[in-house]
Amino acid sequence: MKPIQLVDLHTQYLHIKEEIDHAILDVVDSTMFIGGVHVKELSSELEKYLDIKHVIPCANGTDALQIALMALGCKPGDEILTPSFTYIATCEVIALLGLKPVFVEVDPNFFTIDIDDARKKITSKTKAIVPVHLYGQCANMDMVMSLADETGIKVVEDTAQAIGAHHTGINGKKSAGGIGDIGTTSFFPSKNLGCYGDGGAIFTNSDELAESIRRIANHGQTKRYYHDYIGVNSRLDNIQAAVLRIKLKHLDEYASNRQNVATYYNDQFADIPQLETPSVAPWSTHVYHQYTLKLNDIDRTQLQEHLDKAGIPSNIYYPVPAHRQKGYLQYSESQPKMIITDDLSARVLSLPIHTEMEIEQLEHITNTLKDYIQK
């Protein structure tokens, strides 16, 4: 049996090695490192794949979020609703822009933003909401959009973990990131569509927002060396775009490999109440960026040590929710308790899931877990 890893990017690379090596060397040979044909082509291919009008590549998923909030015209003091149960980037950019993160609970079954709680936290200063499609499935976007319609707030979907997932709602079937005003994603290597370095992208169906996003991502430039706005430097390079174009062709197959792993785990753990398997929301497909269990009445640290000894890596996404991070206490101290978020942070455990898992590995993981619990 091959050693088990949380993500196996090397085996994945070996399957596409020839095409990747060729594409990378081609870019090197062309010396078109910044900009270039692959960046443009990747945009068009993603626009088609996602059925979203504009896809604007940028340097990483954190920049994508920052640029999205800048394009929406958020001003210092504005409040932005965000789940606390997320990767810190979502909250970080809010704070960096001088905005105020207002932490919202998540649904205890789906791990995505709780709209009833969001509604309670709306004030006259609320400017936007950032639903995070955590672990690979969409937040309830019908509820998000109706809250936005009622209150006039803007919507930025953080789809760094859910590219390729679909949401089915009152407006039919849509790609994750194509429902709110702006969608953002990350091409960090371990993401479902990952490059070989850093990368990200911003999605929108609005021509106006697209223009403003392009401008902000390029130093606020309207015309070469004319800067009507204060922007940032955030671009995807041509080598990364070349890699992503190749991997995009495999994205559906990659998602189905992940879904097969999840189905295997679900079947094996079905009769074990201590291992609560992830629930799939009726409005979303799940692309399983993570396969995350909720543990019931088990010591998580001891279980992780046991798994580790058996050669099985596991991880906690995320052990400390944003509202409890030292750097963010200044925002959360005056905010209500986050009971569900605290409970989930203490109980979640993610198992290895990736595109290259072998049946022997899955058997070893599930047998080890079952033996441990039943002993």
Ligand X SMILES: *Cc1c(COP(=O)(O)O)cnc(C)c1O
Residue numbers of the site for ligand X (CB under 6 A)?
A: 60-62, 86-87, 89-90, 132, 158, 160-161, 186, 188, 198, 200
User: Which lies closer to ligand X via its Cβ, residue 186 or residue 350?
Assistant: 186
Tell me which residue has its CB nearest to ligand X.
Answer: 61
CB of residue 64 to ligand X, shortest distance in Å: 7
CB of residue 172 to ligand X, shortest distance in Å: 25
Do 365 and 352 contact (CB within 8 A), yes or no?
yes
Distance (Å, rounded) from C-alpha 71 to C-alpha 181? 10
User: Which lies closer to ligand X via its Cβ, residue 36 or residue 131?
Assistant: 131
Distance (Å, rounded) from C-alpha 100 to C-alpha 123? 12
Distance (Å, rounded) from C-alpha 225 to C-alpha 210? 20
Give how far Cα 368 sits from Cα of 1, 310, 311, 347, Å: 15, 8, 10, 19
User: Which lies closer to ligand X via its Cβ, residue 94 or residue 160?
Assistant: 160
User: Which lies closer to ligand X via its Cβ, residue 64 or residue 362?
Assistant: 64
CB of residue 34 to ligand X, shortest distance in Å: 18
Tokens of 160: 């760094």
Q: How many CB atoms are closer than 10 A to CB 73? A: 11
Measured N-to-C along each axis, helices 89-96 and 61-71 cross at an angle, to the nearest 10 degrees, of 40
Measured N-to-C along each axis, helices 207-217 and 61-71 cross at an angle, to the nearest 10 degrees, of 120
Strand pairing class (221-223; 79-83) = unpaired
Query: How far is the first Cα of the chain from the last one, in angstroms, to the nearest whole number?
Result: 24
CB of residue 87 to ligand X, shortest distance in Å: 4
Do 2 and 361 contact (CB within 8 A), yes or no?
yes
Give strand pairing partners of 182: 156
User: Which lies closer to ligand X via its Cβ, residue 158 or residue 356?
Assistant: 158
CB of residue 336 to ligand X, shortest distance in Å: 23
Classify residue 135 by its DSSP letter: G
CB of residue 130 to ligand X, shortest distance in Å: 9
User: Which lies closer to ligand X via its Cβ, residue 117 or residue 198?
Assistant: 198
CB of residue 218 to ligand X, shortest distance in Å: 18
Listed residue (191, 193, 360) closest to 264, CA to CA = 360
Distance (Å, rounded) from C-alpha 198 to C-alpha 287? 21
CB of residue 62 to ligand X, shortest distance in Å: 3
Interacting residues of 90 by C-beta distance below 8 A, sequence separation 6+? 65, 82, 83, 130, 132, 158, 322
User: Which lies closer to ligand X via its Cβ, residue 198 or residue 356?
Assistant: 198
User: Which lies closer to ligand X via its Cβ, residue 137 or residue 268?
Assistant: 137
CB of residue 94 to ligand X, shortest distance in Å: 12
User: Which lies closer to ligand X via its Cβ, residue 60 or residue 268?
Assistant: 60
